[in-house]
Amino acid sequence: MALCETVIDVKIYRVRLVAPGKWMLCASFILPKNVAFEQPILEGEGKEQV
């Protein structure tokens, strides 16, 4: 997610116990269109290297 995005209606549930006291979790949410279709920003692209 982008730093300015807010996720609404997140559902999290336990999938299975992978080690004593350690759960594998599954999170379900709707990805906002502006995040899903944003062009990737490559490291250093659009920024001056110092």
pTM over 0.75: no
Q: What's the pLDDT at 8?
A: 76
pLDDT in tens, 1-50: 555 667 678 899 999 999 999 999 999 988 888 888 888 878 776 555 54
Taking CA 6 as the corner, what is the angle to CA 32 and CA 36, rounded to the nearest 5 degrees?
A: 20
- The Cβ of residue 18 has, within 10 Å, a number of other Cβ atoms equal to 9
Q: What's the pLDDT at 19?
A: 96
Q: What's the pLDDT at 2?
A: 56
